[in-house]
Amino acid sequence: MSSTEFLEGLKNEFPGAITKIDIGYGQKFAEFSSNAAASIFNVCSTNERGRFDLLEDLLAYDSGDDIVLVYNLYSTLLNHRVILKTSLHRKEPSILTATTVWLAALSYEKEIAELFGVRFKNHTTEIPFLLPKDWQGFPMRKDYVYPGGYSGIAHGSGVERRKR
């Protein structure tokens, strides 16, 4: 239960930044505002009751209104985990990179930057990871419109399919 204590402590330390604490599905969630990302990442990795030294997963989803980032943190020293969530405006989503604290975030952030258009400040590289270099748009967003084609190849077979 030490991660619950840790989250309570975090909320007392950053009363404005931590907006919500939730326990459900056997997991502990905390929602934080993206402005306080730097200090929250540092506290999570260094705090005596937290000591989250492993970023297990960093994922993103489009909720329709916002782009939501989900950080799954695990402490190999204290054997507990916590899930941090933050919502970013879909017009210009940007957040500080987590690579300075957890290096594992490097390729996750590259992928999210490409597929969701999130800008990670102070990220080391901006080389495209999965998509071609001149790809337009962010494919994993809900308002993404499929391309008519790419480099002279028309998209689709031109055969009408039955609507789902």
Q: Which is nearer to another protein, 2 or 135 (CB)?
A: 135
Distances (CA, A) of 39 to 12, 14, 112: 14, 9, 22
- Residue 130 CB, nearest approach to another protein (Å): 8
Q: Which of 4, 55, 44 is nearest to 28 (CA)?
A: 4
Contact 100, 123 (CB under 8 A): no
Q: Which residue has the tokens 């990179």?
A: 97
> Does the footprint of another protein cover residue 156 (CB under 8 A)?
yes
Residues 107-146 that bind another protein (CB under 8 A): 131-132, 139, 144, 146
Residue from 15, 76, 161, 162 touching another protein (CB under 8 A): that is 161
| Contact footprint for another protein (CB under 8 A) | 131-132, 139, 144, 146-147, 150-151, 153-157, 159, 161
